[in-house]
Structure 1
Amino acid sequence: MTNLTNYHSHCLYCDGRANMEDFIRFAISEGFTSYGISSHAPLPFPTAWTMEWDRMEDYLSEFSRLKKKYADKIELAIGLEIDYLNEDSNPASSRFRELPLDYRIGSVHMLYSPEGNIVDIDTPADTFRQLIDKHFDGDLYSVVCLYYENLLRMVELGGFDIVGHADKMHYNASCYRPGLLDEPWYDTLVHGYFLEIARHGYIVEINTKAYHELGTFYPNERYFTFLKDLGIRVQVNSDAHYPERINNARPEGLAALKKAGFTSVVEWHGGKWEDTALCLFP
């Protein structure tokens, strides 16, 4: 078996449900060739799902210990999933750039409401509906536009390697307004977003976390052929918060990429990103 890798996972340093070593040991038991830890990076305020700055030294130290301990069994990489929040807090911020990381994932989970409140939009669909109605007066159009505006600004500023769960809002927004993905204005936003990703050369993860539960990847599978045509490099990540979910929907993700014409995925080998032949599981 090949393509057994994962670079998006969350351990007890943020909102994961097991310690770093448990994830690594499970990856080894499953035959993974390389594996990355990517806890949620600190924000300017405390949350229940992000790491605090006073734990960063321990995070890096623990990874270093485990990398040495399992060096003969698996290649490990350390990263962070860093939010674009505003001009002062984003993956390009100097404090994140100075960290000795192997890679960085850039994501958007939160938006500012018109009143200046921070609204976490990475929620179940029912909660998303309530938040849009409460904080944005039900104006889904403005929320979607703001989301992509932030994503584009994140892409422009840089400071990361991998685009995290691209177009993740599509599921919640489609639940709020069925048929949204087929509306021309939405399609234009998404295509413009991927064009900028291609122009800057970022890797796009095919995030499989919700596939078995919700039946969708992030980005949506309808865009896979467009990604291929743009020459965007991809990898399959499960965004795991539990060790046993590190391989969640990987075969389905790889099969969908193969169907779209991809022949390779990006993996961490020899201390760098490499294009590796895409091979479906038997």
Structure 2
Amino acid sequence: MNQLTNYHSHSQFCDGHAPMEEFVKEAVAEGFVAYGISSHAPFPVPNQCNMLRERLPEYLAEFHRIKELYGSAIELYVGLEIDFLDDSFNPSIPYFKELPLDYRIGSVHYIVTPDGTPIDTDGSPDRFRGYVDTYFGGDVDEAVRRFYRSSFRLVELGGFDFLGHLDKIGLNASLYRPGLDREAWYRRLVADYLEAIASQHLLVEVNTKAFATRGRFFPGEDYFEQMHRLGIGVVVNSDAHYPAKINAGRPEALKALARAGYTTVWQFHRNEWIETPLEL
């Protein structure tokens, strides 16, 4: 296999900006060997990003239609990016376990505020700032700690194949207070989280979505050496919402991983995760 794979992308069924088939056509045109569709899973909090539960049969049917058309040219897989909210809603619950999926991504986007309101930490910086000021009285540190408490619990409960963009809150938090994601307490929190991930032998996504616009990966490149020392396997994904961006940031991510000591990445091949040589 070559390095042209992607297992994190969003189409018209959630907050993506093109039909599912357009992503697959682009993947074939660019010479990808494998591609996965992973819309945001149904979620109990109404929003503009997650797929509605009633659309899930249509989502699966459309994937299988496209696989019939393009399956001879590329390996195609269907998954979901599943949010952690609490113990009652996360990738480990029976609803998600029983769906006919090839793989599952476990992600944290939402946290629960002190008054019990779920809020999205992954929206625009201005919206994040408004949430922190309204629900946390400006205590952005507490918002971040709640994000990681949910993240630790996600790891404990499992039910997914790899973790999506595990320190993404660091971006909005550092825009709220510049330098926050470089402060010692934050770095210790991420380091402890990586140790918990390693203890469960979980795969971690290196998410390249924000590299072109923000110059950063999720998790940040600063953590790659620790991840390598801990033996954490990585899957490189673009989290594409537009077909033209299915390969955005991948070459740079592979180079950064190689600098950190990685010689392999993980890819989904013939319905199983395999470790493959990292080739630049």
Partner of 1:28: 28
Partner of 1:69: 69
Unaligned runs of 5+ in 2: none
Structure 1 residue ranges, 4+ long, deviating more than 4 angstroms after superposition: none
1:243 deviates by 0.5
Partner of 1:118: 118
CA shift digits 1:5-56 (9 cap, x unpaired): 0000000111111111111011000000000000000012332111111111
Report the residue type matching 1:193 in the other structure: Y
Partner of 1:210: 210
Higher relative contact order (CA 8 A, sep 6+): 1
Question: Number of residues paired by the alignment?
Answer: 280
Unaligned runs of 5+ in 1: none
CA shift digits 1:188-229 (9 cap, x unpaired): 211111111111121111101011101110001000000000
Partner of 1:231: 231
Partner of 2:52: 52
Instruction: Give me the whole-angstrom Cα distance separating, in 1, the residues matched to 2:251 and 2:215.
Output: 14
- CA-atom RMSD, angstroms? 1.2
CA contact (8 A) 2:171 2:181 kept: no
Report the residue type matching 2:138 in the other structure: G
Report the residue type matching 1:62 in the other structure: E
1:235 deviates by 1.4
Q: Greater CA deviation, 110-119 or 122-131?
A: 122-131
CA shift digits 1:101-152 (9 cap, x unpaired): 1110011111111111121110222332222111110111211111100000
CA shift digits 1:69-109 (9 cap, x unpaired): 21210001110000001111100111000001111001111
1:186 deviates by 1.4
**Aligned positions of 1:1-282 closer than 5 A:** 2-280=2-280
CA contact (8 A) 2:207 2:236 kept: yes
In structure 1, the residue corresponding to 2:39 is in which secondary structure?
A: strand
CA contact (8 A) 2:107 2:163 kept: yes
Q: Percent same amino acid among aligned pairs? A: 51
Normalising by structure 2, we get a TM-score of 0.97
